[in-house]
A and B are shown apart, each in its own frame.
Chain A
């Protein structure tokens, strides 16, 4: 079962920052927060993940609250090609009983407009 809650949809102007929230109030100490996106029925694309600290890569930044119950994915300068469904997923850091599988919820449909 997905252990996250995300808004169904959001929109953002091109060139502006897109901030996508995610609630994961039941997250355990050994669970990472992962973000993937899916553009128009292509395969899900990995964006970023983190455990406790904020993370940044060439695609996005991930801000995790101190209590780890929520996080925000930030696309600093959204483009039209960032229009996609964004999934926030929590997963144990080790194999565990899930053997690495990812539980996808409904995600957030982000629409970037010109």
Chain B
């Protein structure tokens, strides 16, 4: 929906390695979000951005950092991946006000 892509779509990595996930949107939306989804927890907010270089933490931000140098790109970095970060990661974007928030297709990350 709404031109949101995520890369990579699948990744397997080892504990302790850095990992960067990319979210790209073509709608010029101001707000972008990273969620993770785990069995029994639904979607939980990791970090969000309310403009270029403006980011803030969600409720599960430990071990993650983000950057947004351009409106269209929002990067999520796991500085040193742990097995507890094995999850499905979803990116979303929103224009604001009464507009709809759209989600990307997700990235499946497995940390061994």
A, B from the same assembly? yes
**Which one of B1, B48, B90, B97 lies within 8 Å of A93 (CB-CB)?**
B97
Closest to A2 in B: B42
**Which one of A34, A94, A101, A104 lies within 8 Å of B97 (CB-CB)?**
A94
Q: How far is the CB of A59 from chain B (nearest CB, A)?
A: 12
User: Which residues on B sit within 8 Å (CB–CB) of A106?
Assistant: 42
**Which one of B1, B94, B98 lies within 8 Å of A45 (CB-CB)?**
B1
User: Which residues on A sit within 8 Å (CB–CB) of B105?
Assistant: 42-43
Tell me the dominant secondary structure on chain B's binding face. Answer: strand
Tell me, yes or no, whether A105 is within 8 Å of chain B by CB.
yes
Contact A102 B97 (CB under 8 A): no
Q: B interface vs A, CB < 8 Å? A: 1, 4, 31, 33, 37, 42-43, 45, 48, 50, 56, 58, 88, 90, 92, 94, 96-98, 100-106
Distance, CA A107 to CA B43, complexed state (A): 11
Tell me the dominant secondary structure on chain A's binding face. Answer: loop
Contact B42 A105 (CB under 8 A): yes
Tally of contact residues, A, Cβ under 8 A: 22
Would you give the 0/1 interface string for A71-114, flagging 1 where the beta carbon is closer than 8 Å to chain B? 00000000000000000000001110001111011110000000
Q: How far is the CB of A22 from chain B (nearest CB, A)?
A: 15
Would you give the 0/1 interface string for A40-68, flagging 1 where the beta carbon is closer than 8 Å to chain B? 01111110010000000000000000000
User: Which residues on B sit within 8 Å (CB–CB) of A49?
Assistant: 100
**Which one of B33, B56, B98 lies within 8 Å of A32 (CB-CB)?**
B98
**Which one of A34, A41, A104 lies within 8 Å of B88 (CB-CB)?**
A41
Contact A93 B31 (CB under 8 A): no
Known contacts A41-B88, A93-B97, A93-B98; A101/B45 CB under 8 A = yes
Closest to B58 in A: A101
